[in-house]
Amino acid sequence: MRRAIIRADASVLIGIGHVMRCLTLANALSDAGVEVHFICRDHPGHLRDLISARGFAVHMLRPGRKGYPECTDAPPHAAWLNAWPEDDAEACRRIIAEIGQTHLAIIDHYGLDRRFEALLRDVIPCLAVVDDLADRPHACDILLDQNAGREAGDYEGLVSQGTTVLAGTRWALLRPEFGQLREASIARRTKGDLTSILITMGGIDALGVTSRALAALANCGLGETIRVCAVMGGHSPHLQAVRDVSTKLPFLVEVLVDDPNMARRMLDADLALGAGGTTSWERCCLGLPSIVSALASNQTRTVDALVEAGAARAVRLTNDYEGKLGEMIQTLSRSPEAMRRMSSNAAALCDGLGTKRFIEAIRLDAAPRP
């Protein structure tokens, strides 16, 4: 039996995207006969129950020593770890000793870098890192960055010469249902209609942007026939506010919590209002036109890439967000050709096969290092 650990966290600060895409990998690994264990820190808003419900073992780490973010060589997101990397690695080594021989580690955490990874290399044959930022050094065998415009050269000097870098949207880690619904989703967009809108601002939506998007829709004159679906995470601090706002609008709003059928929701939508996180590539796979906003600094690159490719339009999260968003929605409602063009450009960015490619690339039957 092959065994893998996945080191990823979710929290109110971090969001849920890292754990969610690792669940996609965990499902694919399990289908390939690999026993998967998650190692997560006990942050507010962790997803232990969800991971367990998906059938995977979860090992929780307690909050650790303070001070790492103040260290001169700490990565920019060191505060996300809430521990020192050496302590985190030691805790992971203890778990590995308990569960038995482990063949693969997948690390998806902006707060971890070479200092952590190097301490696992003698106990795990293959270390794979999932990154988006190219802002810190790594000691890994495989590095995956699924973002548009990313190239292997962006990691020059940050990885060793023997590291395999998998860069670009062809490696986007999507669940199988997105690829399965891709053809039908693209086909239904030939008219360029705008009658159904999906709002998905991330699992946490810490800034409360969903309510602001609903306010924009209320004032852009689309009429009572527009259908709106807002998807929220159960840990969002603004969930009740969205529910309250949704009852006061002149059109029907469906508020869904931790919805497991996002591919179907995207298939049914004509336009998405979203963030620049990992769901960007889900929308692209299904050819879903989008209006996006960078809700965190690490989303700026993705938003810029989507706009440059013609796959989305962007609205900055400023004081006049509601007005600008409303104007953009009105413009798109009068331009079926713009909607069709955005759909085509989005679909060209991601084909939904990245997870399959990655599982093949990590070579489960052969350890990359002697």
Any idea which architecture 177-349 has in CATH? 3-Layer(aba) Sandwich (3.40)
Q: How confident is the model at residue 222 (pLDDT cuts 50, 70, 90)?
A: confident
> The tokens 């707060």 sit on which residue?
111
Mean pLDDT for 235-262 is 94
Q: How confident is the model at residue 221 (pLDDT cuts 50, 70, 90)?
A: confident
Domain with CATH 3.40.50.2000 in the chain: 177-349
Q: How far apart are CA 361 and CA 52, in angstroms?
A: 27
> Please, are residues 351 and 24 in contact by the beta-carbon 8 Å criterion?
no
Mean pLDDT for 252-268 is 96
Distances (CA, A) of 104 to 36, 63, 129, 140: 9, 25, 11, 11
Domain with CATH 3.40.50.11190 in the chain: 2-174+352-361
For domain 2-174+352-361, give the CATH number.
Answer: 3.40.50.11190
Q: Which two tokens stand for residue 302?
A: 């993705």
Ramachandran sector of residue 201 (left: φ over 0; alpha: ψ -120 to 50; beta: rest): alpha
Mean pLDDT for 142-156 is 96
pTM of the model: 0.93
Percentage of the chain beyond pLDDT 70 is 98
User: Order of strands across the sheet with 164-167?
Assistant: 57-61, 34-41, 2-8, 104-108, 126-130, 142-145, 164-167
Mean pLDDT for 279-283 is 97
Mean pLDDT for 102-107 is 97
Q: How confident is the model at residue 289 (pLDDT cuts 50, 70, 90)?
A: very high
Mean pLDDT for 258-286 is 96
- For residue 125, give the 3-state DSSP assignment: coil
